[in-house]
Chains A and B, each alone.
Chain A
Amino acid sequence: MYTLKSIVRRGSMLGASVALLAATVIPSASVFADALNPLTERSLLLSSSAPGYQNTDGSGNSTYAPPGSGPNGEKTGETFTFTVSSTDTVKGMSFQYCTTAAGFCRAPGNNDGDADPNNNGDTSDSTRDANVFPRAAGDETESDLDVVGTFTQGTGAGQFQVYIDGVASTAAWTMTAVRAEDTSWIDGLTQPEQGLTGKKNYIILTSSTGQTINAGEEVQVVFKASGSTYITNPGYGSFFVKINTYDTDDHADAVNTDGDSGDGSQGFTNITPLANNNHVIDGGVTVANVMTDSIHIVTKVLETMSFSVGIQNPDTVDLPGAAQHGTCDALSQSNTITGLTNNRLNLGNPNAEFSLETGKAWDAYSYWRLSSNSSGGATVYYSGNTLANTVGDEIAPMTNEVPSDPGTEQFGLAFVDAGLDPLANAVGDQDDTFQAGYVAPRSYPFITLATQTGAPYNTLTPQSASAGYDEGNAGDGSIDNGTGGAGQAKFKFLKSSLTVPESIAQQDEDVISCATAKMRYVGNIAADTPAGVYTTKINYLAAPQY
């Protein structure tokens, strides 16, 4: 071999001739894996098929392209799978990455330069570019395959594990990665990137005790990437991995190499099987491919908000025929049952022109529904005056959360459970359906009721904004006791909300897919409450935080 190297140094023409000769004669000798008992059902699964120079996601951010993820071609992991055809105690495995399946081996990659310009096995005169990312201008689409760091045995990031038929090997394995290219590789004359890469392309696993593997058993070797230990993909194209298993953990006994195989600084060159080699058990070649460019799908999720206030939940309305209800339709500003429109509610005895009574409490309901992709949550407020007539008489607001008490002037509001309304598929002709993804009305992720303590509300942090309004269904939910006394449901209303809106629901930890809240209003009068028509307008405000 030394003679061959000397000849090559002396002239390019002669070198080219010799190289040509080598290319036609030597391949059959230098590729030994598939000449032995075959490893069958071979495959190589890359954690990323992106080229090595790509290490960011479609938006150019590294945050969403961690080592071992699909977008990251610089720091990849790999999974080799193959089936052995011989029963033996395996003490060594090797994985050699080459650009061709047979013949001289050149490590995959398309960096500029040649790691061994004079093909003497010495890379001290290398002109090959290093894998430095991001690449310099003009080299943006270049990278060489390289094994960086040393994987240790295990299942975590930066580790490897050997599995036999899905069970982790009981043997202790160590990993070594060195360069293993053939100096006889014919450098392309017009494609300088075809020079040797000088990078580590040869992985050796050894175990002093070894692992008995029976013929037909599947072997899987999984390398998981970490930030410091990983395999860098080449810049483009397909590459081949020659796999061999050995019955010795002394690799020098198994292969014949030039160069320094001791500390790996020079790597192996010109690997060939030893004469009459009996240490190789099985062998085979597998192939993988890196995409010169991944499919980058870029989209933007813009701020969204849909807030509706109404007097009927459309999910409770029997639609004509077998119509479908949407997943989060806007609330209706009219009510098919009461016939009221324009978000108008009548509060009082329907048999007495919706007037209030001193001996009985009356209530009414409305809804609000919010959906927003605001990651910081949202706050919902109300704003309005208490019930008042045109001459300025007002029904006293319930400034604290107290029960409804007929005979006492009161006006208040509170949350009740919108999910207790009978849905449309339980009323009418019962032929209504709901679209996929529909969730029964609920206030989640707002905690609006004191009783909302179970799943899924128990995953939320406590929310205090609803504290004064969360007992609209307390106890038996009554607003009077039937004989003119107080009920158990509690309400509150602040007249000051007219100028300073009062927050009644607030959460800051989640987006809001479809929060539906049902509001209950109560009105009571005293005997001396001035007669007249009393009205108020309650506005609800939603302020998402994106």
Chain B
Amino acid sequence: MQHKLFRFHALAHPLHHMGMVDLLALVLAMVIFVAPVSALRFQERSLYMNSTVPGETTSYTVSFRYMSPVAVGSVDMLFCVDPIPYHPCVTPPGLDVSNAVLSGQSGETGYTANIQSANHIVLTRIPSVITATDPSSYKFDNIVNPTDTTTSFSIRLRSHASTDATGPQIDFGSVKGQVTQGIVIETQVPPMLIFCVAEQVNDNCDGTNNNYYTDMGQLDPDSTLTAQSQMAVGTNASGGFAITANGTPPAAGTNVIDSPTAPTESTPGANQFGINLVANNSPTVGNDPEGIWTNAVTSPDYGVPNRYKFVSGDVVAYSPNVSLMKKFTVSYILNSRSDIRPGVYSTTITYIASGRF
């Protein structure tokens, strides 16, 4: 025995001087402390899909808690139909992670995403010991959802000491997600157009005086005959409404009192028939539009006080979008020359309201 001890000492003595003993101790320490531990299952695993619309590009957040307090250099994420690690991986139809971007990470961090294929991502970092005790999360943008809504899919997870997801696994597990067909709800908001015309109408068209005739009186070259009527309109047409005035100037047989084609002041002694939709004081007739819907307005040519015009088919009032009840008062003026031919001059003005749905 003494002989053997002597021989061992003779062998070990030079090693001591070479620092080999220290090296041996270091190797032993590494063997002891870096010995692989048995694989454990990641805990608190979840997959949050920001959208479950089949085939849609969205973001996924994968969360899990590391269980083994050892150095981890990579996390392997393999997207398959089933979670069984040793089964061949069938890529979920439609899924594509090839453009995935690691946009966020918490807990154990320092990873970059190394895209392997359309269904394989490897997170890699400089190996470091797991210190996070809470779940870690990794958010990936630009993932295209699978398209099969009838079955769930899995992400097989493994952590490795290596940086390329090779070698023995440390922790493992899987999460599941599923795309679904969303609920499509369809309804209609029915088109509504409320319009009433009479000598007098209520604001909401819930009543009129049912008078549609006016005798303006005796034509006189020194004075202006006036009359007025009212109309109220409202619509939920998204393009609003338009009211046109249609008819002919007053006529008695072939004799016609012409109408100005541009807004014109009332001029007694001239043949003149015109209308506008605002309050006037020359002569005094009419009212400004009434109602809170400011988007329902008169047409510019018919909205100038004391200026009158009539061209059949002209839009006299309109709104560009939805407008509930607005009341317009139409003012009529009639002037005549002294030599106007006698007769009964009459006309019928028809107002047409159209919704632009």
- Could you tell me which A residues sit within 8 Å of B by CB distance? 302-309, 311, 330, 333, 342-348, 352-357, 362, 364, 366, 368, 372, 374, 376, 383-384, 387, 389, 391, 393, 395, 501, 519, 521, 523, 525, 527-546
Residues on B with C-beta less than 8 A from A536 are 184-185
Expressed in whole angstroms, the minimum distance between the Cβ of A233 and any Cβ of chain B is 26
Contact with A along B41-72 (1 / 0, CB 8 A): 00011111111110000000001000000000
Residue of B nearest to A372 (CB): B176
Near A by CB (< 8 A), chain B positions 53-103 give 53, 63, 82-84
- Interface readout for B148-182 with A: 1 if CB under 8 Å, 0 if not? 00101010000000000000000001111110111
The answer to whether B188 and A353 touch across the interface, beta carbons within 8 angstroms, is: yes
- Chain B residue numbers with a CB within 8 Å of A342 are 181, 184
Report which of A307, A355, A368, A393 forms a contact with B188, defined as CB distance below 8 A. Answer: A355
CB distance from A513 to the nearest CB of B (A): 16
Given contacts A305-B176, A309-B180, A539-B53, contact A348 B187 (CB under 8 A): yes
- How far, in whole Å, are A536 and B321 apart by their CA atoms in the complex? 23
Q: Is B186 an interface residue (CB 8 A)?
A: yes
Most central of B47, B173, B187 by chain A CB within 10 Å: B187
Is the CB–CB distance between B180 and A539 below 8 Å? yes
Q: What 9 A-B pairs come out closest when comparing CB atoms?
A: A539-B182, A355-B188, A530-B238, A305-B176, A531-B191, A347-B187, A545-B46, A355-B190, A537-B182
> How far is B52's CA from A383's CA once the two chains are assembled, in angstroms?
9
For the complex, is B236 an interface residue (Cβ under 8 Å from A)? Answer: yes
Q: B187–A534 contact, CB under 8 A?
A: yes
Known: A389-B238, A527-B324. A305 touches B150 (CB 8 A): no
13 more CB-based (< 8 A) A-B contacts, given A306-B152, A345-B183, A545-B46:
A302-B84, A304-B176, A333-B181, A343-B181, A343-B184, A345-B186, A355-B188, A531-B191, A534-B188, A536-B185, A540-B52, A544-B47, A545-B44
Chain A residues with CB below 8 A from B324, complex form: 527-528
Interface residue? B192 (CB, 8 A): yes
Contact of A531 among B48, B177, B323, B357 (CB under 8 A): B357
A-B contact pairs, 27 of them (CB 8 A): A304-B176, A305-B178, A307-B152, A309-B181, A343-B184, A345-B186, A355-B190, A357-B190, A362-B187, A366-B183, A384-B182, A389-B238, A395-B189, A529-B189, A529-B322, A530-B189, A530-B237, A531-B189, A534-B188, A538-B185, A541-B51, A542-B178, A543-B47, A543-B49, A544-B47, A545-B46, A545-B63
Taking CB atoms, residues of chain A closer than 8 Å to B187 are: 346-348, 354-356, 362, 387, 523, 533-535
Which residues of B are at the interface with A, using a C-beta cutoff of 8 A? 44-53, 63, 82-84, 150, 152, 154, 173-178, 180-192, 234, 236-238, 321-324, 355, 357
Tell me which of B152, B185, B236, B323 has the highest count of chain A C-beta atoms within 10 A of its own C-beta.
B185
Chain A neighbourhood of B188, CB < 8 A: 348, 353-356, 531-534
Expressed in whole angstroms, the Cα–Cα distance for A307 and B183 within the complex equals 14
| B84→A546 contact, CB < 8 A | no
Contacts of A343 in B (CB 8 A): 181-184
CA distance A141 to B83 in the complex (A): 35
In the complex, which residues of chain B have a beta carbon less than 8 angstroms from the beta carbon of A543?
A: 46-49, 177
Nearest A residue to B293 by beta-carbon distance? A528
A501 to B182, CA, bound (A): 13
A347-B186, A356-B187 given; A528·B51 CB < 8 A = no
CA distance A384 to B50 in the complex (A): 11
Nearest chain A CB to B244's CB is how many angstroms away?
A: 21
The 8 Å CB contact of A544, one of B46, B52, B355, is B46
Known contacts A330-B150, A389-B238, A546-B46, A531 near B181 by CB under 8 Å: no
Chain B residues, CB < 8 A from A521: 185
Selected from B45, B46, B82, B180, the residue in CB contact (under 8 A) with A540 is: B180
Nearest chain A CB to B108's CB is how many angstroms away?
18
Q: Knowing A531-B236, A531-B237, A531-B357, say if A302 contacts B183 (CB, 8 Å).
A: no
Q: Which of A352, A393, A532 has the most chain B CB atoms inside 10 A of its CB?
A: A532
- Which of A372, A501, A521, A530 has the largest count of B CB atoms less than 10 A from its CB? A530
User: Contacts A302-B174, A376-B46, A545-B45; is A535 near B185 (CB within 8 Å)?
Assistant: yes
A116 CB, min distance to chain B CBs, angstroms: 32
Known: A305-B177, A543-B48, A546-B46. A532 touches B189 (CB 8 A): yes
Q: Which residues of A contact B192 (CB under 8 A)?
A: 527, 531
Task: State the Cβ distance, B181 to closest chain A Cβ, in Å.
Answer: 5
Nearest CB of A to B105, in Å: 18
Chain A residue numbers with a CB within 8 Å of B44 are: 376, 545-546
Contact yes or no, A546 B181, CB < 8 A: no
CB contacts (< 8 Å) of B178 on chain A: these are 305-307, 542
Chain A contacts of B150 at CB under 8 A?
A: 330
CA distance in complex: A534, B234 (Å)? 21
Whole-angstrom CA separation of A305 from B323 in the bound complex = 51
Give the shortest distance, in Å, between A418 (CB) and chain B (any CB): 15
Least CB distance from B220 to A in Å reads 46
Task: From the candidates A348, A501, A535, name the one contacting B50 in the complex (CB within 8 A).
Answer: A501
Closest B residue to A346 by CB, please name it.
B186
CB contacts (< 8 Å) of B175 on chain A: these are 303, 544, 546
A345 contacts B184, CB within 8 Å?
Answer: yes
Complex CA distance for A303 and B42, rounded to whole angstroms: 12
